[in-house]
């Protein structure tokens, strides 16, 4: 699956949490999210200037502008949906996405699962997405 096919698929299944997603569908959409976030940040800087927010203990942190916020709002549901479908592809419940709330360990475990090859053939979440390719 290519980048454009992944984007079309993920937006076509905007809130479809059922079924399975191949590794290429998931990772190409991750690339799109990262590139889109960088471009949105650049547009925010060009249109509205840098948005630095002072932290209570001192120091500054970059804050997203309107373009970044709109990008996140447009992509959060398809991002969650493809992530849940990716977990389904390895036979895990979509609720495992919540393990990412555990600092460091949860994120590392999710990345390993996202990179794991999906179950061959059908599983309890649907047909193998690679069989139709």
Domain boundaries, given as residue ranges, for the chain: 3-115
What pLDDT sits at residue 78? 96
User: What does the pLDDT read at residue 11?
Assistant: 96
Strand ranges in the chain using DSSP code E only, listed in sequence order: 52-54, 60-62
* CA–CA separation, 90 and 5 (whole Å): 21
Is residue 133 pLDDT above 60, yes or no? no
Read off the tokens for 39: 């471009």
- SS3 label, residue 63: coil
Q: Which one has a higher pLDDT value, 31 or 66?
A: 31
pLDDT confidence of residue 97: 95
- pTM of structure: 0.85
Share of the chain above pLDDT 90, in %: 68
The answer for residues whose C-beta is within 8 angstroms of residue 128's C-beta and 6 or more apart is: 20, 118, 119, 120, 121, 122
- Per-residue pLDDT tens for 74-117? 999 999 999 999 999 999 999 999 999 999 999 999 999 999 99
């Amino acid at each position: 699956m290519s980048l454009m096919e992944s984007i079309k698929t993920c937006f076509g299944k905007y809130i479809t949490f059922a079924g399975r997603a191949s590794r290429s569908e998931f990772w190409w959409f991750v690339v799109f999210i990262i590139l889109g976030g960088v471009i949105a940040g650049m547009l925010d800087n060009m249109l509205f200037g840098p948005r630095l927010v002072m932290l209570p203990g001192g120091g500054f942190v970059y804050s997203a502008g309107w373009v970044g916020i709109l990008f996140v709002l447009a992509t959060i549901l398809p991002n969650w949906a493809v992530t849940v479908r990716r977990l389904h592809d390895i036979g895990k419940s979509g609720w495992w996405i919540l393990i990412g709330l555990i600092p460091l360990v949860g994120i590392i475990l999710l990345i390993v699962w996202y990179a794991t090859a999906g179950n061959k053939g059908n599983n309890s979440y649907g047909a193998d997405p690679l069989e139709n390719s």
